Amino acid sequence: EVQLLESGGGLVQPGGSLRLSCVASGITFSNYGMGWVRQAPGKGLEWVSVISATGGDADYAESVKGRFTISRDNSKNTLYLQMNSPRVEDTAVYYCAKRLKTDTGMTRAFDFWGQGTMVTVSS
Amino acid sequence: EIVLTQSPGTLSLSPGERATLSCRASQSVSSSYLAWYQQKPGQAPRFLIYGASSRATGIPDRFSGSGSGTDFTLTIGRLEPEDFAVYYCQQYGSSPVTFGQGTKVEIK
């Protein structure tokens, strides 16, 4: 059974920093790309970032580019999201998600999701 | 950026009825890279459909997806009580990945 367990959320001041973690189990973590998707309170889903299986390639939404950094440690089966200079509008539940792998390769659809960790940016 | 517009915003139906949800893209979705997710209150999204029409593992066959280009549909053949939720479409063929704003399927 695939399990993704996020941690690290909480209250952070605008301009501060926070690091989210996501520990994966039930999969060969190093074989899969991963991503982060967020959901502001009462709102819809917003893609944040993806990373390749090796960690060599990453992509970001324009709204977080230059402020957030995705990374992974395959020896620890762990995905990270470093949030620097967060803004009030970054307040959301952050979901860690596994990217779907098909016959044609790694996609940016997400077939397994963690339960999410809440990040509140406020002074 | 591809904008996805879902309609209707809310669908009020009774258990046993058929639900038809629409997702329209502002430009053609590459290779029908269109997915659907279900989300219940307080829960993470659940993966339903990928490639516009392929069901994910373990998804009941009352869920079906169709469409290509800019127009896509999720159909729930006969609504079960557990199907009342919010449904999102997502295109993953172009960067940035984008989601629709969601359709809420509620009990009439």
Note the pLDDT tens digit of each residue in A39-64: 999 999 999 999 999 999 999 999 99
Contacts of residue B39 in chain A, CB cutoff 8 Å?
45
Task: Please answer whether residues A116 and A93 qualify as being in contact, where contact means their C-beta atoms are separated by less than 8 angstroms.
Answer: yes
| Neighbouring C-beta atoms of residue A113, cutoff 10 Å | 22
Task: Please answer whether residues B106 and B8 qualify as being in contact, where contact means their C-beta atoms are separated by less than 8 angstroms.
Answer: no
Percent pLDDT > 70 in chain B is: 100
Burial class from Cβ neighbours inside 10 Å (0-12, 13-18, 19+) for residue A64 reads buried
Q: Which amino acid is at A48?
A: V
CB pairs under 8 A between A and B: 59
Cα–Cα distance, A106 to A4 (Å, whole number): 18
Chain B residue with the nearest C-alpha to that of A108: B92
Task: Please answer whether residues A112 and A49 qualify as being in contact, where contact means their C-beta atoms are separated by less than 8 angstroms.
Answer: no
Q: What is the pLDDT of residues A77-101, one digit of tens each?
A: 999 999 999 999 999 999 999 999 9
Contacts of residue B29 in chain A, CB cutoff 8 Å?
none
Cα–Cα distance, A32 to A55 (Å, whole number): 10
SS3 call for A29: helix
In this prediction, residue A106 carries a pLDDT of 93
By Cβ distance, the residue of A59, A102, A113 closest to B44 is A113
**Phi, psi dihedrals of residue B28, rounded to the nearest 5°:** -60, 135
Beta-bridged to residue A103, according to DSSP, are: none
By Cβ distance, the residue of B39, B50, B97 closest to A47 is B97
B-interface mutation test, from A45, A95, A112, most B Cβ less than 10 A away: A45
B-interface mutation test, from A57, A70, A110, A118, most B Cβ less than 10 A away: A110
Burial class from Cβ neighbours inside 10 Å (0-12, 13-18, 19+) for residue B18 reads exposed
Assess whether pLDDT exceeds 90 at residue B26.
Answer: yes
Q: What is the pLDDT of residues B48-68, one digit of tens each?
A: 999 999 999 999 999 999 999
Cα–Cα distance, B20 to A46 (Å, whole number): 24
Report the candidate in A54, A48, A11 with the shortest Cα–Cα distance to residue A29: A54
Task: Please answer whether residues A77 and A91 qualify as being in contact, where contact means their C-beta atoms are separated by less than 8 angstroms.
Answer: no
B97/A108 CB distance under 8 A: yes
Task: Please answer whether residues B39 and B45 qualify as being in contact, where contact means their C-beta atoms are separated by less than 8 angstroms.
Answer: yes
By Cβ distance, the residue of A47, A50, A59 closest to B98 is A47
